[in-house]
Amino acid sequence: MKEFDYIIVGAGLYGATFAYMAKKAGKRCLVIDKRQHLGGNLYCENIEGINVHKYGAHIFHTSNKKVWDFVNSIVEFNRYTNSPIANYNGKLYNLPFNMNTFHQMWGVNTPNEALAKIEEQKSAINSKMEAEGISKPRNLEEQALLLVGKDIYEKLIKGYTEKQWGRKCTDLPSFIIKRLPVRLVFDNNYFNDKYQGIPIGGYNKLIDGLLENIETSIGTDFFENRSHWESIASKIIFTGKIDEYYDYCFGELEYRTVRFEEQTLNTSNYQGNAVVNYTDSKTPYTRIIEHKHFEMFGEDIDKCPKTVISKEYSTEWKDGMEPYYPVNDEKNTMLYSKYKSLADKENNIIFGGRLAEYKYYDMAPIIEKIIKIFK
């Protein structure tokens, strides 16, 4: 008999949730992670009494009551509602695109006025493309213009997207933006999901609860002693980079990454909102996160005399950096399919999560997927 039923490589949300469900099923688990902390990209550091999301903002949202009840059985979630702001050259707009946005953009007051303005701009773009013999969008720019028109695209999409991807919108495939939700109501709630919030006390509470009484080892690199880990477990749950697992035999997958410039400021309230996106092309960062607004509301904001902000800079991933977003273009999709064909033949390995599946994941679908595995 092996020492463990599962060696789980990676202590992020996928690994921690899998370990929790496996332990509940009576399995013996060891969770290892090469970082010096548990939680993966959910990890928070408490600075000046504020839980700082060290790897970018994470907002939990779902319409699945079972998933919502599950995470709240581990730690209670608050009522945080994601309502980001866009800053375009000093002018502020509400996101997602809704009647507040359209009033700020054009001064319109009714849904019919807003819809007429959008349709007028979409029609002009469509006529121009038809005149040029273009039957369907060839790139992200043309796709976005056909969805929301010139004004919204140029002020709220173009600069932000080009900074995020490090490429011109005309060089990005159209399928990246399949749809852009336009809401003809005065509602700044970014998500349509029924439930959303942040764990009270930060995401470390969620991870600690999931991994309670489960053996863990941080600062432990799977690849430095791979044969040992494989020898002491019946199965490996791998949440790292799938191309690294196979020693890059087909080549390296590409990622975008994010650099964070963190500041502690001597003010109780810097920007009045958790998330402000900078959608112009001149501002080098994509957004500023003010972390206290995820968990402090009303009078509590001023009771904490300092605040912590993080400026986010999107850049190309290089070896040694933390990979964040898969580059889902044709080249990388084809490369990933080669690795997946190898993974599908494995009997004793489960590949899961954004790096192992080369797929961007929200948090709730990860939990939903693992619950189904054990069901």
Domains of the chain: 4-78+196-252+327-374 (3.40.50.720), 108-176 (no CATH)
Q: What is the pLDDT of residues 258-301, one digit of tens each?
A: 999 999 999 999 999 999 999 999 999 999 999 999 999 999 99
Position 39 scores a pLDDT of: 97
Dist CA 315 CA 172 (whole Å) = 15
pLDDT tier for residue 177 given thresholds of 50, 70 and 90 = confident
Residues carrying an active site annotation:
179, 183, 256, 287, 312, 360, 362
Residue-wise pLDDT tens digits, 184-193: 999 999 999 9
Is the pLDDT at 338 greater than 90? The verdict is: yes
pTM exceeds 0.85 for this model: yes
Residue 84 tokens read as 């980001």
**250 and 67 Cβ atoms separated by less than 8 Å:** no
Tens digits of residue pLDDT in 50-106: 999 999 999 999 999 999 999 999 999 999 999 999 999 999 999 999 999 999 999
Distance of alpha carbon 266 from alpha carbon 243, whole angstroms: 44
Give the CA radius of gyration of the chain: 22
Interatomic CA distance for residues 300 and 292, integer angstroms: 9
